[in-house]
Structure 1
Amino acid sequence: MPVSVVVAGGGTAGHIEPTLAVADAVRRLVPDARVTALGTEKGLDTTLIPARGYPLELIPPVPLPRKPTVELLRLPGKVRRAVGRVRQVLREVDADVVVGFGGFVALPAYLGARGRVPIVVHEANARPGLANRIGARFAARVATATPDTGLPRAELVGIPLRESITSLDRAALRAKARAEFGLPDEGPVLLVFGGSQGARTLNTAIAQALPGLIDAGIAVLHAYGKTGTPAPATPGYVPLPYIDDMPLAYAAADAVLGRAGAMTVAEVSAVGLPAMYVPLPIGNGEQALNARPVVAKGGGILVPDAECDGDRVLAELVPILTDPQRLAAMGAAARASGHADAAERMARIVLEVAGA
């Protein structure tokens, strides 16, 4: 029988993309492998997972409250229902291994598989979430994207990325990418993005900095978010609510201004772009920790959200974007800090645990 792999990493793109990258890598290594995804009706699961050609089995969502609330009292019942559904799926697909990436789906997947199917855990953030902290206790293997997460028996692997990122030839696509976005053929380009909803701090800072950037000969490609506001129209400034083809945007750019989510840092580093990272100032501070390894190697700079304004953008990025040698050195450092082979390494761990 072909090896049967069940992946659990739904909810947000930050969980789904590494999940699907590992699924793709498993199929590249073992073409007849059966890969089944667990997900919920919430988030992007029903949109992104079927579009990549993987069967999606829905389970009841189990959102984990950060603070004691009435939802915490309802949690045991929700967990039981979700775990029961997970076990049903594992029997139906005759699962050989369950791979979890955190998020709403991971905790029921770990509890449903415990004692029945071996588990592999992948943690993308520097500070693990509750689901992965629990799953790591009884997992066969634990992989992380950054060192010093505190998870037991952790192996540093990096964040699995889609092949369109790891194989991206920015130089070869540069002319096409700039033409597609309506950017100048020559001169440096700054790519600005803050996630699907944009980022108010970045949008405000880029509006303040735009005249100075344009005066310095720097064009700007700005994904301001579906609910955000672009800067005033200016020649050399290309605002979009959302960028569907991020590899093409990376090919058009010379540097990035963005948040420091785990996937953002991993992708920007993998394609060799210097970046000014502005961590989102919420949660447990993991965004700043995500960016520290690449910053420590010289591939980026870290600026607190409260200090990110137009003057800081100009002070940090204009010297980089107008110095080709510094730009190239930082790009090389960024690429060297990444883990472009993480998807294949994770796939080999998964297949080994499955006995394939």
Structure 2
Amino acid sequence: MESKFCILTDAEDLRTLISSTEDNLQIERTRTLFEEIRASINNNEEEDRSFWRPVLPWGGVYTIRAGRRAISCTPLYVKISLKNTCTIDGFLMILYIILRDNHSFPREVGIFLGRQFVEHFLYLMDSYDYTTVKMLWIWDRMSKRQYRSVIHHAALEIDLFGNEHENFTKNLETMLSTMQESLCTNWSCPARFQEFLQRTININPPHELPHRDPIQSAVEEFFCPKIILCKELGCNGLREFSQRVFCHGPPPFVILNMQLWKSEELSYVPYHLALSQHRYSLEGATLFNKEEHHYSAAFQIDGYWMHYDGLRSDNLILLNKPPELLLLSSLVYIRASDK
């Protein structure tokens, strides 16, 4: 059974399957998923606030041909079961909305994730081929950093249980990478000059709530220069940190890791954020249900907010108010000038 699972490393078979899927769906499809969601908002009645069909349902079963590695001459088909996919589902939904709602972003994001990946991702989402979308992310993105989740070879199962930032955010390559240099004032310091590279934007809640927006303050704290005591062994100097900058310029969207924040520390979430001399606007958020250990997501289209939860039968609904009893896991902001 293990040899059958090894076919997952052959990206050519995934491209072939995506190509055949596109051929089959070309005739059937009338409107893209984004067009259908937008239409459902405009035609929504008060008594029916749910989307007309399930979107990115939790989990999935992916059928794949064993191909060249199969011992038998007869083509062998195996089924790969996906479990606990909520660690990527919410972000995949938000990523799709961002790319479809901002015309210049697919090209920009393609610089980091690859043009072919972005094209395949959008086509599969447009065509409602959700399990293949998840496999595309796992295969093309997660495999580059090795799987952070459990793969059960004998059961032909991929279990994505874990943290959404491990399974999604850190796989955005260098798009969110920031760099900060530091120099110790002590000439005898064993590591006087250092560079600090970070792949995600982890902002810490303030020790004391500031007089103004705590999230904006935390972002500024993350990027601003500072001076602290040097932590090198035997050094008594001061370490001066430079302004933190994006390695490849301001990204089209940013994801703020909010896992360390408590509900009482968030009196409100700002709709606009000043970041790296650009103005960013709130586009989405991911939410965490502590009791179910489950992630969901919220995002906006045309000024309306929708809640997506892959575990529910009606998993995309128009919101009257924010979802209750959920912790904030991430905030997603887009560059406002490109909206």
Tell me whether the two structures share a fold, i.e. TM-score over 0.5: no
| Structure with a larger share of its residues in strand | 2
Specify the structure having the higher radius of gyration (Cα).
2
What is the TM-score with the length of structure 1 in the denominator?
Answer: 0.23
TM-score (norm 2): 0.24
